[in-house]
Amino acid sequence: MKAFAVTGRPIGFSRSPDLFNKAFAAASIDAAYTRLACASAGEAVQIAKDLGLDGFNVTSPFKESIVPLLDSLDATAVSTGAVNTVVNRNGRFKGSNTDVEGVMGALHAAGVEVRGRRALVLGAGGAGKAAAYALRKGGASRVAIANRTDARAREAASVLRCDWVRAADVTDETADADIIVSCLPAGASLIEHGSLLRGRAVLDASYRGSMLAGGAGTWGYRFVGGTEWLVHQAAAGFRHFTGVEAPVPAMRNAADEFSGRDNGRDSRVVLVGFMGAGKSTVGPLLARRLGFEFHDIDWCVEGMTGADVATVFRTKGEAFFRAAESSELKRLAVRSNVVIAAGGGAVLSEENRELLASSCTVVWLAAPFPACVRRAGGPARPLLHGKDESEARRLFDERLPLYLSTSDIVFDSAAVPAGELTERIAGEIGFAIAR
C-alpha cells in the first residue's frame, strides 16, 4: 500500500485526506492518505522519512521553510520559492508547487479569462507567490502583490518579477484590478469594503470561512471559492504521486460532501499505535485536558477476565484476547466524551478499523521503532517478550499501513514530552476533524 499525508500547523482542518482517499478508491489504487501534525517543516520531513511515506502535501506555514530541507525542486518550486507537494523517489524528496495549477484551474473553471487582465494578489506567503507566478505565466498584463508587511511583498515581487504595492495603497490598486486573488489567512483581509470589488473576479485561497464569499451578491463581484483551488491543486498532486490523471469528479464530490458535514468536535477520540508508542501515558492526560472519560482497552480486558494481559495471552490465547478487545471497542465506540487507548493490534481486525473510521477521531501516535521497543520491553508485552528485534520489527512493519489507513491525524509521540504532546493533540482536535 502506498502511503501519503498532508502536513502543516494547524492541520486538523485539512480536507486533503477526503479528496485523496476518494480519488485513490475511484482509480483503484491501493493507497491511504492522512494528516501529519508537526511543529516545524523539519519535523514533518523527519516523520515522513520515519514512516516511509511515498509523498506528502504541505500547507501553511511550511511551504517556504521546507524548501531547503528537500533533495531537489522542480521548476515551479524554484520559481516560487515554495513547495506544496513532495514526492519520495528512492529515498530522495523532490518538491513541486501544484498551487500554480490550482489557481489557474479554479479561474478557468469559473470562466475567468486571465490573459491581458490586471491582477492583484493579497498575501506574499507560499500561496501568494504561487498565485502571482500562475497569473504572470497565464498572460496577465500586470500582476501586483500586496501584503500586510510591505517588506515581504517587495521581496516576493523581486523574486517573481512582478509589481508590489504598499498595504496602505491596496484600495487604489483594487480600483485598477480585473482579478483579485486573496491568499491571506482565514478571517484576514486587506479590502476595507465589498463595494471596492464590484465587477471584479475574486478568488479566495481559503476554503474555511472566507470573508469575501458573502459579499458577492450584495456588491456584484464574481466570487471563486477556495474549494476549486483545493481540488485543482490536489488533482495535480495526485498526478505527481501516482503518474496517472486524477479522477477530478471524485475529488470534487469529496469536497462537496465534506462541506455538508457537522464540524463539531468529535466526542470519541481513539489513540492507536504500536506497543510503547505512549497511548496509556498520553490517554489519561488528554482525557483530563478535554474533560472526557479515559478507557484503556487492555485494562478493560483485564477487568473482564480478572487476569493481566500477559496471563490472558498465555492461558487463553491471542484469538481470545482479540475477540475481547473487539468487544470492548464496540462497547465504548458508541459513547460520548471518551478517550480510548486501543491495543497495538486492534487495527488488525478489518471490523475494528471500519468501526473506528466511521465513529471516532483516530489519533495515531507514531513513535519510531527503536523508541517503541525501548519503551515496550518486558513481560507485560506478550507479543514482544522473548522475541528478537527482527520479529518485533516484522510486527511493526505489518501494522504501519493499518495505522495510517485508519488514522485521521498522526503525531510523533517520541518527539516531545507527554504533556506537550497532549496540548498539541487537544489543539488539533479543536479544528474539528470530521469523516
So which residues are the catalytic ones? 63
CB 348 within 8 A of CB 423: no
> Any long-range contacts for 60-68 (C-beta under 8 Å, 24+ apart)?
60/8, 60/9, 60/125, 60/126, 60/127, 60/185, 61/8, 61/9, 61/125, 62/7, 62/8, 62/9, 62/38, 63/125, 63/126, 63/127, 64/125, 64/126, 65/40, 65/41, 66/41, 66/95, 67/95
Beta bridge partners of 364: 272, 410
How many residues does the structure list for the chain? 435
Q: Maximum CA pair distance of the chain?
A: 79
Between CA 156 and CA 126 the distance in angstroms is 10
* Element holding 157 (H helix, E strand): helix 150-160
CB 59 within 8 A of CB 11: yes
- DSSP result, 160-177: HT-EE--GGGHHHHHHH-
Between CA 28 and CA 36 the distance in angstroms is 24
CB 413 within 8 A of CB 249: no
What are the C-alpha distances in Å from 266 to residues 75, 271, 337, 426, 427? 41, 13, 8, 11, 13
Between CA 306 and CA 319 the distance in angstroms is 17
CB 59 within 8 A of CB 37: no
Query: Phi and psi for 92 in degrees, rounded to 5?
Result: -115, 135
Helix, strand, or coil here: 324? helix
